[in-house]
Structures are given as structure tokens and as C-alpha cells.
Structure 1
Amino acid sequence: MKQIAIVICNYNYERFLAEAIDSALAQDYPGTRVIVIDDGSTDGSRAILEQYGSRVSTVLKENGGQVSAYNLGVEIADTEYVIFLDSDDVLYPGAVTEVMRIFEEGDLAKVQFRLDVIDEAGNQTGAYVPNTEPPTDCGSLLRDGWLYPSPPASGNAYSVKALKAIFPVPEGGINRYGADFYAIYGAALVGPVASLTQSLGAYRVHHAATPSVSFANSEQIKKAPKAFKERWVTLREVAKDRLSIELPPTFHDFAHEKAYMGSSLYHATLRARWRWMFNDSSAYLHTIVANPFWGLKKKMGTLLLSCLCLVPYSPLSDFVVRYITNPLARRSTAGN
């Protein structure tokens, strides 16, 4: 039987850690190993880890950031497959069994699955990620610069062999965080990606109750686009040096561009909104019109919504910006 490791990278998430570990231990696939890498936590995380004894393999390290934890996790993983589970997320029972069933069907670099979005208290919000299913050959589109739709870190299972072709990646600076960027897109350069449409876990969004254009947990909306650009530079270097793949200088990604759009238009004056449309919207519009993952209906709908961001009634235009940028805004509307 092939083996899989669930590697939980934790830093100061004492209040969520046990739930993540319990969800990993509850998997019914016999060849599952649970590893927790604690990245120098200063809260009560390590006391919680002691309670699990030999049921989990615990690695205690000095704080170095998420990339350093991933580098170590890939290095010590002695299984064929691995899931990197964020310590504030959970896997549903049977998730590993379903993932391994797909891995058995072909030589895949990654199997991704949908994650339900939960709030800080663990309540279902009604949203899920991702909302678009990518093709199996994500690598060919990635070579043209298109970042394919993927769930966050916890919604991905990898071939360890594929990750070892990418990791370790440089640590420090912008690379203290965002390790899943290199795993998600690096794996697609190594081999095919399969996508499951059912939810096999839950992704916790903090501050979900606050109306906002920000959806990501780890970085502010104004910082995330810049971080993505810098990580793309690093991924290009890794791809060239280790895989002999020449990636284009720039990438295309609607999630990235809508973050720029949201930070530019939210609570902006009407004049500033129109100035953005005429001077700065070309990359945003390109990721809609030329998007290889979307059908015509979704493209037309997104373009129409984008036009509503320019109406002179600011409560409506701000609502539309939130609706485009944050999936939670869509679900709250649907429930009203």
C-alpha cells in the first residue's frame, strides 16, 4: 500500500491546532502518517503536541517562516504522497482515501480538491474554493504564464517526487511565507494535475464577518499582488535551473488582478474609478477576456459586473467591488 503524509505546519495557532490534528488522525486510509512541524511557536502549541504522544511525529524548529517549514517537510517526507495542511484548516473524514483513489488512476504530480470556507469559529459560510475547475494539463498553460485555479494550501495533495524537483526554495524576505505558491504551480510544471469537485476539507477565513475586499488570510490585499510578482520571479529561476523550463517574464491571473482592482476602486472617488479603468485596467480585463479557464457566460458576467464598479452611486459600486473580489460577499447576498 502506498503511503501518504499529512504535514501540518504550525505557528502560534494553539486555538486551532488540535482540530487540525484530529482531522488528520481521523482519516480512514491505513497508510496515513501525521507529521506536525512547529515553527517556533511561543503560545501553547507545543503543550498541545505533547498530548498526542506517538500518534503524531513532531518536529520542533526555530521560527523561520512557512517556506522553511515546507522545505523541511519535503525533505523529511518518506512517503510517496503528502498533504500540507494549514494548522487552522481541517480535512473531512475520507479525504485521503478519495485522494489516493485518484492518484492510483495515473502518474499525477498533484490532486487538488475543493475546500468549504468556514469562519473563525468553524461555522460554514456557504462559500467554497476554487470556483473554477482547471484542465488536467495545467503545465502547458502555466508555461504561457497562466496561473491555474487552485485551492489554498490545504486543498492539495502532492507527489513527493514532484515536490522534491522544486523544493527547497530560497527562504527569507518575501519567501518567509507563500510556500504553497511554489508547491501549487511548481508541481504543475513537473506533471499532470487532477481536480476533485467535491469538498474534502475546510479553509478557515479569519475576520469573515467584516465586509471587505480581502479574502486571503496571510497577506493584506495591497501586499499580496507585489508578493505574487516576486514569487513568480523565484519560480522562474527554479524552473529554469532545475527543470530547464523557461517561464515568461510576467504571469496572468484573475485572482491577482482583482486584488489590484479591489485595492484601487474600493471607497475610491468616481473620478479615481474612471481613471483606473482608462489607465490601469488592461491586465485586469485581459485576465477576463483571454481567460482559458472560463466560458463565455462567466466572462460576460464578470465584464458586466466590472462596469457596475463605475456607476456614480458609491454604495452600489463598493458592493460590486466586494462581490467580485471576495467570495464571501456573494454568499451573504445569496442568503438574503
Structure 2
Amino acid sequence: MPPAVSVITPTFNRADMLPETLDSILSQPFKDLEYILVDDGSTDGTRELARAYGDKIQYLHHANAGESASVNRGWAQARGRYAAIVSSDDPMLPGWLEESVAFMDANPHVLVCYPDWRIIDKASQTVSVVTTFEYTLEAMVGWLHTFPGPGALIRRAPLQHLPRLRDPRYRYMPDLECWLTLGLIGPFARVPKVLATWRQHEGSITVADRSLRRAQEFIELATTYFRRPEVPAALQPLRVPALSRAHWYASWVLQETAPVRSALHLRRSYALMPEDLPGMPAQLKRFERPSRKAVLRTMRQAVAHRWS
């Protein structure tokens, strides 16, 4: 008989943090689950670590192909009514599965549920608590913001037609692309309890990567999303706000590594949409609009720095 939940953890060279995550899942009071660990070509002893857990986990290994490929392999292997993708460095909190499954069972129309969560440091100490936003598809698209975070639970039955869960073309934001896609299929709902964690550390892409490719990916995602035939006409007015947000995110990514490009993306963000969408939370609002003089000054400073 298939399990109620399939938990999928993609991992690559996280043997130092992985045991805490594995133990946080296996120690959940809710036991009707299968745990699939997908090793994306690790070279740090992950295989040996996984063997120590015996048949408590299903261990899959392949040559390094990226996180999305690992998630998709685990998704194809999964048999549960529900599935969760748990990063190898993000342990879940006690009661996460019990609470999430009960919520989904009680709300059969919901495709994805997601809890509030803690930001933790490398030593697993709480840095802050994130209260997630109440979901609407319009807000997630217009704000170009990932509403579900760690601990999200997905109902699998309505998604049997999908060839994959994540698009491997997106290295830096496969989760946002995934949620935007699933949002076109069914509703999401917030579980107003702190049930998960997200670990902030130097090795995290979210923290460390400030590349041009990451900046470009925001704009590519915002552009291609509205070309998809399944995006309804009612969402098309959000194309400009979403693209404005994408340029703002690109500006943020490049602040330190490419200040001239950063300034130009920021200027483009405001040229597309001078004001943020009504109702946008304060923590998501853009920083002060740049003047033409400010952009030129930033460019001169960047050129002077390069030749100094």
C-alpha cells in the first residue's frame, strides 16, 4: 500500500548537515511516509552516511546534474498521496508532517500547503521567524515572490500529467518557477504554524551567489511566464509589475559585483512601474527610486574603481 507522504531530499556534498535533516524527518510522530534521498554526485561521504540509515531511507545516486534533476528523479520515484521537497540543510520541526497532512486531508481542494518557518544559522540557532503571506495567485505573480517556503506539502494526484516538478533550465529559482506553474493548476493555503526551518550559511546560493546569470534568470522567468498559453487573460495585467520586480531583484543581486548594471536594472524597474502594487507588504517594497544623476554617479564610481 502506498505511503501517505513521500519526502524527497536532494543533496550534494552536505554530509556535515545532512544527518540533522534526516533525523528531523525520521523522528516525526507521523510515520506513514517514505523518505527518498537523491544524491547528486556527492564526493564527501554521503553514500556511506546514507548506508548507515539502512532501509529507513531510499538512497538514489547519479552523476552531478543539478538540484532540479535530483528533485525530478525523486518526484518520479515517489508513491505518496502527498510529497514534500526538503533541502538537505533544512531540518523540519516536530509535528510538521502530522500538522500538514491533517490540514491537507481537511482541505481536499488545496493543492499546496505551506507553514511559517524559522531562519537558522550554521549551528542551528534561530536567527528569526518568518511569518508567511496568505496566498493569492495574483499576489505571488505580481510580487514575483515565493509564497511557499520550507515545509511545503504538495498533493500529487492533480499533477500526474506533469512530466517533471521543476524546470532544470532554472538553476537559481527552480522553486519560484515551480510554484508559479503549480499555481495555475490549483490553490495554495498557509498553515499558520512554525513547522520548518531554512538554514542561512555561506554555502547557500541564496546567500552567496551574486552572478550575472542569477540576475538574468529573474528577468527570463518573468518574461517567459506570461507567454505560456495556460496563463489566463486575467493574469496578463500583472506582466509589467512582475517584470518591474524582476529588474529590482536583478539590481539587488548585482549591487556589489556589477554596480553599473545594478543601477541600470533599478532604473528600468521604476521606468516599468513607478509605484509598487497596492497592498504589497513593507518588507517587499523596493528601495528609493534612483535619479538620473544617481545612476550616472554610480557608473562613474564603478569605472573609477575598475581602473584604480
TM over 0.5: yes
The 3 A distance-change label for structure 1 pair 252 and 176 is closer
Match of 2:252 in 1: 262
> What CA distance in whole angstroms lies between the structure 2 residues aligned with 1:170 and 1:183?
6
CA deviation map 1:78-121 (0-9, x unaligned): 11101100001010010011111210122211001122111122
When the two chains are superposed, the root-mean-square deviation of aligned CA atoms in Å is 3.8
Please list every run of 5 or more consecutive structure 2 residues that lacks an aligned counterpart in the other structure: 292-308
> What CA distance in whole angstroms lies between the structure 2 residues aligned with 1:45 and 1:159?
29
1:199 aligns with 2:208: no
**TM value normalised by structure 1:** 0.70
8 Å Cα contact 1:119/1:207 also seen in 2? no
1:290 aligns with 2:285: no
Matches within 5 A, 1:249-328: 252=242, 256-263=246-253, 279-282=267-270, 289-292=276-279, 294=280, 298=282, 302=285, 306=288
Q: Identical aligned pairs, as a percentage?
A: 21
8 Å Cα contact 1:257/1:284 also seen in 2? no
> What CA distance in whole angstroms lies between the structure 2 residues aligned with 1:278 and 1:16?
37
Match of 1:51 in 2: 52
1:9 aligns with 2:16: no
Match of 2:173 in 1: 178
- Give 1:155 deviation, angstroms: 3.0
Structure 1 counterpart of 2:10, which letter?
Answer: C
Match of 1:150 among 147, 159, 170: 147
- Give 1:206 deviation, angstroms: 1.1
Structure 2 counterpart of 1:10, which letter?
Answer: T
Match of 1:124 in 2: 126
8 Å Cα contact 1:84/1:156 also seen in 2? yes
The 3 A distance-change label for structure 1 pair 47 and 109 is same
Quick check: 8-17 or 249-258, which moved more? 249-258
> What CA distance in whole angstroms lies between the structure 2 residues aligned with 1:86 and 1:290?
32
Structure 1 counterpart of 2:214, which letter?
Answer: A
8 Å Cα contact 1:134/1:195 also seen in 2? yes
CA deviation map 1:161-184 (0-9, x unaligned): 344444426865x43553323332
**Residues matched between the structures, number:** 287
8 Å Cα contact 1:5/1:32 also seen in 2? yes
Match of 1:133 in 2: 133
> What CA distance in whole angstroms lies between the structure 2 residues aligned with 1:187 and 1:203?
22
> What CA distance in whole angstroms lies between the structure 2 residues aligned with 1:277 and 1:250?
14
Matches within 5 A, 1:84-123: 84-106=85-107, 107-123=109-125
